[in-house]
A and B are shown apart, each in its own frame.
Chain A
Amino acid sequence: AQSVTQPDIHITVSEGASLELRCNYSYGATPYLFWYVQSPGQGLQLLLKYFSGDTLVQGIKGFEAEFKRSQSSFNLRKPSVHWSDAAEYFCAVGLEYGNKLVFGAGTILRVKS
């Protein structure tokens, strides 16, 4: 069965600093990959997704992610973090028709001023 690992439970970065959140998946074929963000007290919102094609994907709020097949990774990046980016971030993997999304455990991002 497919699985998703987010190795970092918490990350703290300074405002203006760059950010990288890690995500590794386990699946034999190319999966469908997603990053969602959850602000406190809110539901999850899609940041970006990868299905095929260009391995560097641009999303909303200045985020991007890169799919690396050789490393089974789909890391999320942002060049300069804003205080409003403080939230919990979830990586998710989906398979082809008939299956569901599997979410990682999430990474809580704290931004210090």
Chain B
Amino acid sequence: DGGITQSPKYLFRKEGQNVTLSCEQNLNHDAMYWYRQDPGQGLRLIYYSQIVNDFQKGDIAEGYSVSREKKESFPLTVTSAQKNPTAFYLCASSIQLLETQYFGPGTRLLVL
């Protein structure tokens, strides 16, 4: 079955620690995205990638980093510089940049 997967479902971060959220898709989509969702707010774009080996900052990229070494993978690292990382993180992909996006199930990040 084609789809987009995220792992883990829940992730706990200690102070000063970097953590990496996984996002994998087997839809053969060129574009991939990372969003952050906070209660009472709309989804906000962290980073996006139009094609492999390319990525661009979104609206709230500070404290985050990404890589796109393979077409099917777009991991997000939440660095210690992100002071308020507790949120629900959603990964999405689309055939091309302006097309309908397909979302993963999300990762909930909590700070210990």
Q: Do A and B bind each other?
A: no
Residues of A with Cβ closer than 8 Å to B? none
Chain B interfacial positions (CB closer than 8 Å to A): none
